[in-house]
Structure 1
């Protein structure tokens, strides 16, 4: 439960219709198994103590009394389990019968939640036996004390308030305004749904789609436990299709007709933080009762997928579709700017590296869609002190294959003259030596754009902006920056996707660009080879993009980012290496905000962007002490 991670489970135990004692034994076994595997929350199916398909047996006192006796048996036998369990059973209250979910914890019945919406169509006849939940909460007499009873109950952990449960039952999910909506507004981050949804063709896919969409709409975790083996097949078949989703993502599911204990972890701190960011959960509805419980905070062993490349889909078709969408958005943004400014040309500094290659590909796409000849695109290659033959040749070949105009301006003499003007020793390879080259290149691009009534297209990417790996008023500046919200790990995949769509001649050039080490090429080459490799200086972009995603998009504290990084990069980087570069990330991110405070326009294409006009407003003088101090207290693992 530390860091907001909670091991949760659903199960669909084999039952016997109307055999409450047997079903209680099956439920106890499922509870013990889930608890032994670290679960702190278990959801079981609707009416699983009796069976959902009892029909008119629900009118029999013997069945109803048997269910209560079985519930008492379960409470006694599981009193030692530190795990919330949600179990379905019928409950008589004030002369009516309700389809209820009992919420159990350490031998106590915390509350009873009756079903609000009773299906009475097709194969369902629940209104024949049950009454819908009353409008307001009340109490139920249980073994000499009053138990909260109603659909407006919330169960909240004192030690981790973000862990707040709400319960709705089966049909409640499928109606136009589910009870889970107000429950979420009242503070529930986890919705539990004991269900008995019979299986028909296509229903599993629809159920999965509905569940994921609902969890996204409510920014919640959703645990859905479906009835399965043992229910009567008189007119219905049940598959035990259990699912667990979190904020639109399916974390785990049991395949229909292959029921099993389903285990994963949810992150309630992530959910609470996202709700805070969205500001859509500020108006709490009245009439909801919060029932607190105590649960020790312990370390949760992670098994859920944490991708080491959070900006890049892992499966090929999804990745290709994402790449196509991003390229389309980049091109659309540039098209609008070109039309609005009536620019005659687009001017791009082309280095033979990944970022400028992507910007050039986007610009070509924009011109194609505008119906303008690619010859109006002016690529400028500006060899300097560190330019290698490989990148120089790639820049030339790329322009030739794309049929755009290529200009060459060697900056060596201009920069050497500038060194003389300012008294810079040309043999001193310091920051002035490097940045003077970057600023000279930007000046050339701006002036060529002025000459030809054009726009300078920026090439810098999101990862460089996060780290401040850009020369202020050098490559940091442009008239429209098409890569501004593309992280470096994604830039590589976008270029690779473009290569896969290109003809053989262009593909070979793009492939060599992909194989070239990332470098600003501001220091002289050694035997014609790149000596200045960015990732050796600021750290692996795979790590920095991971840090950026979790530290900025999700606002996780440094210790949690470190924990996730160790989990995601296990076997690739050790804890000491990750911690070293994480310190670098925070130090540079805070120190370099002044560069992001005056960024040029550029299209937002993902959930993370650092535009000072949009998603990221941070004072340039903010101090990193709190974040760095937290990292200093960590021990590399």
Structure 2
């Protein structure tokens, strides 16, 4: 469903050379995977025999037991949908191979031999095994049947996924075989491993798995043999993990004296979109592989995966602080370069007492700190009008006083009334004209004041507003440098909250700004209080940021956006509410592209940006009909 595939990685209890014992524990875990509707479950390297058999690999008795164990697995799995990837020693043309066997429904679908055979320090596999490098187009007889054999095998469930298999050391090589498998289209990669535990290796191993999943834009499942292996000279801890495009989805516990299995729902559709839209994936070498058909496995119904409702915001506080600090640094570096390039000493900002202008001021202030400049070179202008509340006006003044920047107040009321008279607009008509006249009057004041001072106007609009077109064209839409352009509203909040810790002298006013409803304050205030609340008009920013992230980042269609949002916001918004605001998002995103087509310069800070000179190129007159049709069809 919606491109999700459930995979598992398992570490069964193991006894060295006791194939019968090993097979029964593999069966138990495979049965669990089948019950959990897993498409493919991975087991460790040489799992049928045990990895640490040593010279017992020369013994015919062991290989006879392995074949009988394989027959047992095939017999038990008849009628099962899930695929199992198990490790076993395999004879072929008078040579012994450390191989991965791909099994489904009582059949061996194919056998992939290990390419890189370690022969260093505690590893000396070349004593028993030879490399499968270069073996292509071959077959091997197992349990009386000829099955495909070679390093040229990929396994495919038509219309859903393609997966490849490598074995342990293959991942540690300079160019892992899985890299070529990914370039040939494999979105799922599996590694049967036997990686011993030494100090510091666990962290490196996890980093290696996560990095390979990111480099290949794939999901990477890894399972290493457990504590039942021989401890003559080394200890195996049973490390098991599943990563997707650089993120660790699930990881098991090491040093367990019992079997374990972990599960993850992998978003294959998302991975495929990344490959099309990001990086240099399309330029990679495509090698020839045999595609081995996999019978239909399970469809994922309800996904067992956390969908972050705030994908732009790290969930852990320590990570949030790191993210905020880095964004602040990017903003400051960007503005510093611009100021130095044009030889400008002064910055002019419109300060409303709201979140966006607060962040723009903080980033500008930080730039002046870095450059060793007097903050009085920052000229803030508060421009009260018909909708300005006492709270925001007061907070604007407190913020500027606390930072020691210059503050100028220009009341726009009379200028707007004069303009209404000039164009024949009734000031009692609170239509878009009433609102936009104020926005453009403020922008005119800022631009003219910047000219007067020899400075530049710092824009305050954020990424979320650009996505929704929630700005007045050639009003607050325009500036001389848009320092917040790459930051979504949900993240703006956290950066301002983080700044309250960095600048304790202004912490109180920053916290009150955070507690103030988001508003353009263009409609007349009611008894000094805010009358116009943005999220009551366009919808919750946390929903819009969620839609924006998944639509742009992974090309998610309306059906999937709704599915993901239901899963992420199930306890917050009902489906009808999500659907309503999704339609608003889609309509506004398409209709407001003309504003983005001429947006001012501003730094990209995250993986999503909407600048027409950078990440997002979209016709201003593109139709939204296809997206709305899909959304509406789901309600029929």
| TM superposition score normalised by structure 1 | 0.98
Is the contact made by 1:467 and 1:592 (CA closer than 8 Å) also made in structure 2? Answer: yes
> Which residue of structure 1 aligns with residue 50 of structure 2?
51
> Which residue of structure 2 aligns with residue 189 of structure 1?
187
Is the contact made by 2:383 and 2:410 (CA closer than 8 Å) also made in structure 1? Answer: yes
Q: What CA distance in whole angstroms lies between the structure 2 residues aligned with 1:280 and 1:466?
A: 27
**Equivalent residue pairs, number:** 632
Q: Does 1:408 align with 2:406?
A: no
> Which residue of structure 1 aligns with residue 173 of structure 2?
175
1:626 Cα deviation (Å)? 0.6
Partner-residue secondary structure (3-state), 1:265: strand
Q: Does 1:217 align with 2:215?
A: yes
Is the contact made by 1:344 and 1:452 (CA closer than 8 Å) also made in structure 2? Answer: no
Is the contact made by 2:5 and 2:299 (CA closer than 8 Å) also made in structure 1? Answer: no
Q: What CA distance in whole angstroms lies between the structure 2 residues aligned with 1:176 and 1:116?
A: 12
Q: Does 1:454 align with 2:452?
A: no
Is the contact made by 2:67 and 2:142 (CA closer than 8 Å) also made in structure 1? Answer: no
Q: Deviations over 1:90-146 (max 9, x none)?
A: 000001000000001111111000001111122211100001104131111234542
Q: Deviations over 1:372-410 (max 9, x none)?
A: 111011100000000011000111111111111111110
1:283 Cα deviation (Å)? 4.3
Q: Deviations over 1:184-241 (max 9, x none)?
A: 1111111100111111121111111111111111111100011003211222211111
> Which residue of structure 2 aligns with residue 532 of structure 1?
532
Q: What CA distance in whole angstroms lies between the structure 2 residues aligned with 1:521 and 1:448?
A: 22
Q: Give the aligned CA root-mean-square deviation in angstroms.
A: 1.2
Q: What CA distance in whole angstroms lies between the structure 1 residues aligned with 2:191 and 2:282?
A: 21
> Which residue of structure 2 aligns with residue 514 of structure 1?
514
> Which residue of structure 2 aligns with residue 499 of structure 1?
500
Aligned runs of 1:73-152 on 2, under 5 Å?
73-137=72-136, 138-152=138-152
1:344 Cα deviation (Å)? 2.7
Q: What CA distance in whole angstroms lies between the structure 1 residues aligned with 2:485 and 2:213?
A: 31
Q: Deviations over 1:72-104 (max 9, x none)?
A: 210111122111110000000001000000001
Is the contact made by 1:323 and 1:493 (CA closer than 8 Å) also made in structure 2? Answer: yes
Q: Deviations over 1:505-546 (max 9, x none)?
A: 411111111110000000111111111000000000010000
Q: What CA distance in whole angstroms lies between the structure 2 residues aligned with 1:296 and 1:223?
A: 18
- The unaligned stretches of length 5 or more in structure 2 are none
> Which residue of structure 1 aligns with residue 234 of structure 2?
236
Is the contact made by 1:159 and 1:296 (CA closer than 8 Å) also made in structure 2? Answer: no
Q: Deviations over 1:341-371 (max 9, x none)?
A: 1113100000000000000001111111111
Partner-residue secondary structure (3-state), 1:52: coil
Aligned runs of 1:266-285 on 2, under 5 Å?
266-278=266-278, 279-285=280-286
Q: What CA distance in whole angstroms lies between the structure 2 residues aligned with 1:202 and 1:28?
A: 33
Is the contact made by 2:184 and 2:288 (CA closer than 8 Å) also made in structure 1? Answer: no
Q: What CA distance in whole angstroms lies between the structure 1 residues aligned with 2:421 and 2:594?
A: 29
> Which residue of structure 2 aligns with residue 323 of structure 1?
324
Q: Does 1:463 align with 2:468?
A: no
Partner-residue secondary structure (3-state), 2:635: coil
Aligned runs of 1:573-612 on 2, under 5 Å?
573-612=573-612
Q: What CA distance in whole angstroms lies between the structure 2 residues aligned with 1:118 and 1:520?
A: 65
> Which residue of structure 2 aligns with residue 155 of structure 1?
155
Is the contact made by 1:75 and 1:106 (CA closer than 8 Å) also made in structure 2? Answer: yes
Partner-residue secondary structure (3-state), 2:212: helix
Match 1:165 to one of 143, 146, 163: 163
Is the contact made by 1:374 and 1:404 (CA closer than 8 Å) also made in structure 2? Answer: yes
Q: What CA distance in whole angstroms lies between the structure 2 residues aligned with 1:69 and 1:107?
A: 14
Q: Deviations over 1:411-439 (max 9, x none)?
A: 00000000000000010010000000000
Aligned runs of 1:179-578 on 2, under 5 Å?
179-258=177-256, 260-278=260-278, 279-295=280-296, 298-503=299-504, 505-578=505-578
Q: What CA distance in whole angstroms lies between the structure 2 residues aligned with 1:632 and 1:99?
A: 53
Q: What CA distance in whole angstroms lies between the structure 2 residues aligned with 1:8 and 1:300?
A: 14
Q: What CA distance in whole angstroms lies between the structure 1 residues aligned with 2:288 and 2:315?
A: 45
Is the contact made by 2:37 and 2:300 (CA closer than 8 Å) also made in structure 1? Answer: no
Q: Does 1:66 align with 2:73?
A: no
Distance 1:375 1:440, change over 3 A: same
Q: What CA distance in whole angstroms lies between the structure 2 residues aligned with 1:303 and 1:635?
A: 25
Is the contact made by 1:159 and 1:295 (CA closer than 8 Å) also made in structure 2? Answer: no
Is the contact made by 1:5 and 1:300 (CA closer than 8 Å) also made in structure 2? Answer: no
